[in-house]
Structure 1
Amino acid sequence: MSTRSSAALLLAAALAATLPACHRQTADEQRAHAVQLRSQGDFRGALIVLKNALDADPASTETRYLLARTYLDLGDSTTAEKEARQALDRGYARGPALAALAAALVMEGQHKKALDETAGGADDPALAAARGDAWLALGSNAEARAAYEHALEKRHEDAAALVGLGRLAMVEGHADVAQGYADRVLARDPRDVDALMFKADLARAGEHPEAALALYDRVLAASPQHRTAHVEKAYLAIGLHQPQLAQAELDIAAQGAPGSLLVGYTQALLDYSTGRPEAARDVLYRVLKAVPDHMPSVLLAGAVNLKLGSYYQAEQYFRRYLERNPANVHARKMLAQALIGSGHAAEARAVLEPALGSSQADAQVLGLAADADMQTRRFGKAAELFARASELDAASASLRTGLGLSRLGDGATDAAVHDLETATRLDKTSLDAAEALVQANLKLGRREEALAAAQALERAQPGKALPYALEGQVLAIQGKAGAAGAAFTHALQIDPAYYRASAGLAQLAVDAGRPAQARQILLDFLGRNKTSVDAMAGLAALAEQAHEPAQVTHWLEQAAAVDARAIGPGVDLCAQYLRTQQPEKALELARRLQVSHPEDPDLLDLLGKAQLARGDLPAALESYKQLAQALPRSAPALMQVASLRLLLKNTTQAEDDLKSVLAIQPDFPSAQLELAELYVRKGSHDLALMMAERMQRAHPQGAAGFQLQGDILMAKRQPAAALAAFEHASTLHATNELAIKIDNAVRLAGRAADADGRLAKWLAAHPDDVRVLAYRAQVWMAAGDFKRAAAQLEDVVRRQPGNPVALNNLATCYQALGDARALTTAEAALRGAPKRPDVMDTVGWILVAKGDTARALPLLREARTLAPTARDIRYHLAVALAASGDKAAARAELDGLLAGDTRFAEAEEARKLMARLKSDG
């Protein structure tokens, strides 16, 4: 050690000896310090000190309570609620702790929960004021007033109660009285932030935004870390169309608690109002995961999903909101929009009905109801509603456009065109009205009038690309390709990023038989607009027409790469991967997209399809269960769940699902068929017949109900009656499946010669029907005519070389005939269907006959596991076990086999084998 180092150590030791011991603050002192910091508005500092105090004294209920109040000061209601509950559970004074809990729940919008969980609590003024806030939010003004007045009785001039009474006066339309309450609080304490915040609310309600901003600044001067003031400033800035100010305020508000509910909600509102709905959706997903019942966030989530075209998700959010706020007409309108968007116009009409019959039936409500009627093709009703809406808002070009389109659908063509022309006069710049007029004229064959409408829009909007694209469309229909191309080109000169014009030029090239030119047009557009997903999709469509699947995949991959989180291109690419037998890629992409789109129906459907393609039935079931939850009124989605449960042999739940499908859509054929089949399996033949009769009444000209009746009668061992049903079904729609069922019924009725004639007649008319050819071979096999059956099956295999069923039956024939080709044929069948128990059994049985039990046993054991009720497989396994020397296992297998139903082809051989094994001891 150097001399300098030794001296330094000695000096440090000497100083340590002369300095007094450092004073470590106790938990009580830390709490006192935190209270002082809170009084100075330093909430973040107080939070740090309180956390240290909790480390020093983890059992302190006082620290927990102070933490709850500090989190409330910071606007972090979620953590405040948690700390308030901790304080309560650990025995802190119930009045203050319940007041903090109630305040946190009110901040989260959980007003009823705040009242329920604090009912019968301590007689505390802060609690009474917080409960008053909850009553007020629920619209229970009398209860709110009583709570505030009770708080004032307990604590004269209680600021929270006075502000509460001010808010109540504001709700009841007494702005002057409300102002008086705020001034009363501020006279005693000019820095009271709650009163200042309330005065800012009054200024906003009076449409004095600048005054409100000044008041928020006063709040922040008194309490610089008052997050709610920053949030409210941001909220106000959003309304004033000042996004930069709003974002700056939110950034400050988020510094201390990025997970704050109010900050998150307001950030989502800013994202939504500035055209970033995807970002808004991501923020709201986090907010609602933490606080599922924050109704403002629920309503905004509905609006965001509506903007994104995610109609089913939007519907769920609006329904949740309306459960709590059934009188909110705005939410009702948006729910109707979502239902119309998802194709459920009749239900949209029902949702709007309460508003239509009230004084709140404004032009927008009438217009939405008319849109719903348009979608259900009730054009006359729609025209009536649009006319009423137009009377209320005579200057609305969009309503007049709707009126014109509804009259067009109702056949009143002259009136329709007149209304559309009126709409274009009401707003000469309305692109929607002009396009509707152009398309209406084209639909009516009035091409010159359509052209005139497009050119009129050009004169009104010379700087817009759409009018020239419309002109190009009309000219193309008129067969004037050169002029149409010039119009599309002019549109692109105005707006080089206007894909519709480029697509029009490409279509002209396709129509002229020049697909290469069409492709080059879109490539040129993409060169100028490198992230155009539309152009990439257009190139994929051209590749599809040219039967170039690799190019389709390439362009869809390019489109999906533009925005890795975008749902539309991603869904298209997933579908392409599945079409081109790339399930692993489809699954990987679907899982990646699901992170940011957890409830998207199209994505859930593709995820399920990808899992099915991989053979992962349990995972596919989970995906389709999520799909059914996302689309609760979708019979096809629930049918997928039922079908997968049937595949997984979960028949009890499958039956419930099938009944639910039919409750949603009573006339759903596949659900009726599956449910009837389940009834047959259970022996409930009468219920199954009722299902068949219902199908017959609904579709008397459809074959399905009669075919189902035949199937049920066959299960009841009534082949003659079944034959009549099958024959009637065949007169409605003859198929090879019915031909086979008719043959089977005729044979069971004891008319084999008649059956042979019918089958020969069918094959004479359908000589290439491989399914019936293979069936006839099975008939001959059952009759023991293996030679004829083998010749027939050889013909089938020539037509379908990889058909595992035909190969398996052919191998059986060869074995019966002593043909050496039996094993190689059976092994070919096994390669094509490696998990089919009947094919495994055939290979194993041939190997047993050859004495190769070592190879036979694993196959027969697996076949028995896959088909435990197949008695012929169990017999073959017993024979193989006996031949291998394992007589005990063979006897055990035969014991189980012969204890049940012994009506199987090799029952007598099984009994003989058992007798031999017993005699051998």
Structure 2
Amino acid sequence: MAPPTPTRRHARWPLLLAGLLSAGLAAAPAAAQPLERARAAQARGDMRAAQIELRNAVRQEPNSAALRAALAQLSLDIGDADTAEKEARAAMERGFDPAAGTAIVMRAYLQRTRFQELLRDFPMPPDGTPPALAGEVAAHRAFALLATREVEQAKAAVAEALRLAPGSAQAHLAASSLALAQNDRPGAMAAIERSLAIDPDLPEGLLRRAALLFDRGDHAEAVATLDRLLAKWPAQVQGRLLRAEVRLRADDLPAARQDVEAVLRAVGNNPGALYLRAVLATRERDWRGADESLQRLGAGVGNFPEGFLVLATVKRALGQNAQALDAAGRYAARRPEDPRGAKLLAVMEMEAGRPDGAIGALERLLQRGAVDAEALDMLGRARVAAGRPREGAQAFARAAELAPADAGIRTRLAAARLAAGDTDGTAAAAEDALRLAPSQAGAREMLMLAALGRGDLAAAEGELAQLGPEARAAEVPATVAAMIRLARLQTAEARAGFEDVLKRFPESIGARVGLARTLMAQGVEGEPERLLGEVLQRQPNHGEAISRLLALTGAGGSRAPAARQVLQRAQAAAPGEPALALAMAQVLRNANDAAGAAALLDGPALRVPGRGVALPLARSQAYAAAEKWPEAEAAARAALAEDASSAPARRQLAALLARGGDAQGAEALLQEGLRSQPRDALLQQGLIGLVNEARGAEAALALADRMGQDPGMQPNARLLKPELLLSLRRPLEAAQAYAAQLAAVPSASLVLRTAGAWMAAGRPVDAEAVLTQWLQREPGEVEVLNLLAQIDIAAGRTELAEHRLSAALQRAPNNSVAMNNLAWLLAQQDSPEAVARARELAERAYFLLPTPETADTLGWVLTRQGEARRAVPLLRAAVAVSRRGPAQDAGGIYRLAFALKEAGDKVEAKRLVDLLLDRIPAFPERAEAERLRGELLSP
């Protein structure tokens, strides 16, 4: 609660009835008894009773100007401005001092915030007006002008008040208000001291002095000043309320409550006292009491600077979440610069399961420059919860810079980086956390998970070993231990480990995912899908659960219907979750139900503006696939409205315009995008493709040449011509164009593209030459080494391929492609050491990148090592998931048949071999397959 605006009061008119009587107020005998009762009521702090007795005295002596003036001032003091004005005017009619009476009336106007009416009803007096009255009018006009933020006019009014009545305490008080409006606090205090030098007991001066002391944190001196004020003027409600607030800020709650209750005894529904009573109750966690006070305050809660913040806090504590969220939103909108409002709003949005709402509140706060570690930490959590771990990690990293000693922030940074796939960054953040807090279990867990993410099982085991038995039994370490067993294809042990974790931690997501992986590796159907569905019930945007289910629906076979059903149920349960909606829409489109996909993406929960480009863009694509062109265009426009810089949205809309016959509009749309983003490859390619369709290949090639020569569109524009040539099935020209660019601007990316084009043109020798020349310049270029190794393998140069792949892994130890290819080569050797090394690499590659290729390699290595039963599920999955058909998967089918024979299933093995040999006339492993059929036919 900000210091309240003091009630203005004439310095020469005491409010204390004791002072009134001792000053010689002439009261008729009829009025003496009510005056005595009024004084008694005042002594016990019952100002409302004192007012009633003064009213009785006035009724008995209606022509007493002094009694009416006393009633006016007491009424003003307790906040009854209507009575104050009425009685002050009546007192002046009966001869009371015009300057003093007018001052009371003007203060009543100010108390009721009738600023414009004061300026209208009390113009500057004409010349000849007594200086005391003229000074009062000028001073109070200054107060009203400052309240309406007319600072320049107020400055003139203050100058006039000081000219007319330089000895007036009120004139100097007006000068203090002006200095405060100009943010000159030393000047404001100096003017107050001048005012108090004229009248040491001036209530407004004492009140303003206390407020300034409170504002600068001098609580003790502020209370001393208010003690002095209230000793002289005990009916001063604003002074008592300010003292209560100062005491509250100084944690002197009993004394603060004493002042608040005194005000409420005097003025039963005083808004300031009710508000402070609510604040006191919140400090004491008396949520019901706080709510009762706020309900009595009603709509008036919005009149206090922090009123909605207190209301939101109380309603949240009482579980009245809708009202709490509304109040927090009002406070954040009214006080956007206050971090407390945005943070409370963000917390409640997170509690309601709306991380996007929390992100919006915190980002608006940060945009205003209110950057602190706590807000950034909260933003990081919200972004991670919204499925945006990379952005979450950025927020955590900024928070860590502002709070360098906070180990918890670094642990959360490690977790966000892990979720974003940055295992090296995870390890760095976790190690920082452990340096700050060596016992930080969460950081140790992040190091385990980072090692696991790199496929470094030994390092993960090393981190586990540093934990005591009790710590190893916790959810994450126990899950990691089971995951290590799974990575080593110890599926029975892994399954037992995950099941044990779930028994002890029934809500564990990690154990469910791990168990689903294990059961899939064992070839179990139905149960993995159910487990992944349970994951999505708990975390609807879980990336791995969604991607695994999506892959199963796309692979066909017996698993597909169950996976689709699980995704459907999960999406129906969380209709507003974008990741699930996009996945389910993909399933529908794969099933040729584009209309169903569009209808799903058009659901009301997904059409909320401000949720980004992905949803409306996918909706547009689905409508286009369903040939609902107006709807597709409307959705594309909605996507572009979400983000005018989105190249995919702009390109989609351009394609729809061109399809509708507006090629000129489509081209203009893309050109508009390129004016602001001239280097954007997607916009460049979109324009070239549009021109190709509308005006032909030669026009497109000419445009690609022009764009390739524009410095502002580089580096991507240089690739437009060779890419277009490839799309036109002119690979030789494309390779030559790439080669020209490579000579002009050498880069590894261009090397790979050039080599790919030479391969497409049927000239592998030229491809190999380009790659070899680049390696002479950059010997450690991993992707170049990988591609050369693949060429070597195809050419039968296995020793050279091994050398290149080993070099690639030295440079990039987690490169799963190099790992898998090297494992394959080593598995062909007869050396037990080579096969053991092959298994280690194949396990890591499959763990890091579980694809049909890595499953095939690992399955074959296991078969070579006599573990065919473990190999069969992997080899079967490799063939089933690839969906390339028997001709392309002949080698994989042969290896599955061989493993089946070794595992004892000769019937299935023979069926597969017969399929291969009867349907596919030529494939590299045909001779081996024929020998296998011979073995299967022999008794």
TM-score normalised to structure 2 length: 0.48
Higher relative contact order (CA 8 A, sep 6+): 2
TM-score normalised to structure 1 length: 0.49
